[in-house]
Amino acid sequence: MKLLYKIFKGTPLFSYPILRKLRNKVYQKHFNAKNLKVAESVNLRPSHFIGKTSISFGESVILDKEVMIDYTSPVTIGNFVTVSEGVKIFTHNHSVDDQIDIQYSEIITYPLEIDDYAWIGAKAIILPTVKKIGYGAVIAAGAIVTKEVKPYEVVGGNPAKVIKTRNLKRDDKQT
């Protein structure tokens, strides 16, 4: 399965809807993830290979169409997380102060943790300065997230701001 992942990732063949079950099995095996569901045109990649690049998935994670996750710095995605269509997640940036040519500038990495039951809405953008998206947090569609989202917060806008806090029992571990 790992060989299949290396051969087919990023190719149009790997994005055909008819190959959904095979694609999910390949991703589950390659990333050692239970019940990972990956839609068409998902792009998981480190943009740069500096230091430790890794991505890990909890149980029952959904990555919808055209999701892009840069794991130049480590990304940890918890259990029962949904990443909706068109979401972009970045874990690195370039220094603007050390070189005139940005391609030679210092790369600054930022690890990211997305806690259990988080939901990231369609076309949201998670910028590198975000260290954590908390338990049960909701990112509204189209939001541009620039800082940590605390547990149960619902954030939206550009830059994302707290809209409300979900009114759920804090001890309720729903499945």
Q: Is 92 a catalytic residue?
A: no
Amino acid present at 37: K
Beta-bridged to residue 144, according to DSSP, are 125
Between CA 51 and CA 150 the distance in angstroms is 28
Collapse the DSSP code of 68 into the 3-class scheme (helix H, G, I; strand E, B; otherwise coil) and give the result: strand
CB 108 within 8 A of CB 125: no
Q: Which helix (H) or strand (E) holds 76?
A: strand 75-77
Query: What is the CA angle 56-155-39, rounded to 5?
Result: 40
CB neighbourhood size of 139 (10 A): 28
Could you give the residue numbers annotated as active site?
Answer: 94
